[in-house]
């Protein structure tokens, strides 16, 4: 496995700047998730590392070596796409063997058999090895796609929203499996998603992207608890952070225009009165949708609360975030 470094990378497509002066270090053995909405530059960053696209300026290093002029095959990376991209006329076994038969890898036949069997066992598809790819379910096809990357033992694994087309339960199951695989292999993963749950549960580091710029990079818990901007704060957290006028609860810092309150930063039982508008019982917790001074907000409370619509609850902010007019966090 290897450390990956992007240094002052720029990339434009016509008049559109996809990446602007991005510098980031992906530690060896880290699981780095790139997070942001469509158009933030996530997939472009992945393609810079893979060699499918070349930077207009800047450089990419893998294992300490510059990747300038190297093709994707020469970079020793493995990529998993959102769509399965399997060969439909081949069996599962043949799909997984395919990258190992590359002239660049020169893998011995016995080693191919061993690696395919080993990865199939990890992904729980051993019983499907002789099935045609077209005879599989969506979840099984994605496992094969992931398995085709895992047999390679590359310097870095690149994954572009590989779970987004799966149903919720299968996504949850594969999240756990992927994280276990990465941890057991000690592999370097660069993983693109817009799903904050994937980012929080899988990543050792999260890179938050906004219109081609890296706005914050660090462990997911650090970004959640100490966001540098309103934008970064809104990328993580379910339910989303409440963004309200800075002085809604009382005096605020002089330059603040907004106060940010995650659901757990709203204390109940003291403070000012709010009206319950909706109660969502979720088993382990209950979400309260409140109206406070004509503003809507969401907080969480005990799973066994007796609160109902139109009840009054007193609330007060606890260690809130404040942001200025540009969205920058005020210390």
CATH 2.40.50.140 maps onto the chain at 244-326
State in words which class domain 244-326 has.
mainly beta
Q: How many CA atoms lie within 13 A of 138 on its CB side?
A: 12
What pTM was estimated for this model as a whole? 0.88
DSSP single-letter state for residue 173: H
Residue 263 in contact with residue 239, Cβ under 8 Å?
A: yes
Residue pLDDT tens, the chain, 331 long: 789 999 999 999 999 999 999 999 999 999 999 999 989 999 999 999 999 999 999 999 999 999 999 998 889 898 888 777 788 889 999 999 998 888 777 789 999 999 999 889 888 899 999 999 888 888 888 889 888 888 888 889 999 988 877 778 878 888 888 888 888 888 899 999 988 889 999 999 999 999 999 999 999 999 999 999 999 999 998 889 999 999 999 999 999 999 999 999 999 989 999 999 999 988 888 999 999 999 999 999 887 888 999 999 999 999 999 999 999 999 8
State in words which class domain 4-235 has.
alpha beta
Query: 186 exposed, middle or buried (CB, 10 Å; 0-12, 13-18, 19+)?
Result: exposed
CATH 3.40.50.300 maps onto the chain at 4-235
Helix (H) or strand (E) holding 144: helix 138-150
């Amino acid at each position: 496995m290897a450390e990956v470094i992007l240094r002052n990378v720029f990339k434009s497509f016509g008049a559109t700047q996809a990446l602007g002066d991005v510098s980031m270090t992906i530690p060896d053995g880290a699981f780095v998730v790139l997070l942001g909405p469509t158009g933030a530059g996530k997939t472009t960053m992945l393609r810079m590392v893979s060699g499918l696209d070349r930077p207009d300026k800047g450089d990419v290093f893998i294992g300490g070596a510059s990747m300038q002029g190297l093709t994707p095959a020469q970079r020793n990376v493995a990529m998993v796409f959102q769509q399965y991209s399997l060969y439909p006329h081949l069996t599962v076994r043949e799909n997984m063997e395919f990258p190992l038969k590359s002239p660049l890898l020169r893998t011995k036949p016995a080693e191919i058999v061993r690696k395919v069997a080993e990865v199939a066992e990890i992904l729980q598809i051993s019983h499907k090895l002789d099935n045609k790819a077209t005879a599989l379910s969506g979840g099984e096809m994605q496992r094969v796609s992931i398995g085709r990357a895992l047999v390679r033992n590359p310097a870095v694994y690149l994954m572009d929203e590989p779970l987004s087309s799966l149903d919720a339960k299968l996504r949850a199951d594969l999240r756990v499996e992927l994280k276990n695989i990465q941890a057991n292999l000690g592999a370097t993963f660069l993983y693109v998603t817009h799903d904050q749950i994937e980012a929080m549960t899988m990543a050792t580091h999260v890179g938050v992207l906004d219109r081609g710029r890296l706005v914050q990079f660090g462990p997911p818990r650090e970004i959640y608890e100490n966001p540098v901007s309103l934008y970064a704060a809104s990328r993580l957290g379910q339910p989303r952070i409440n963004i309200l006028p800075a002085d809604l609860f009382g005096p605020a810092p002089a330059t603040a225009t907004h106060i940010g309150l995650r659901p757990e930063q709203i204390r109940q039982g003291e403070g000012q009165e709010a009206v319950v508008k909706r109660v969502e019982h979720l088993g382990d917790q209950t979400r309260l949708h409140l109206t406070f001074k004509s503003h809507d907000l969401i907080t969480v409370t005990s799973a066994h609360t007796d609160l109902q619509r139109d009840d009054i609850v007193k609330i007060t902010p606890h260690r809130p975030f404040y942001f200025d007019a540009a969205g920058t966090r005020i210390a």
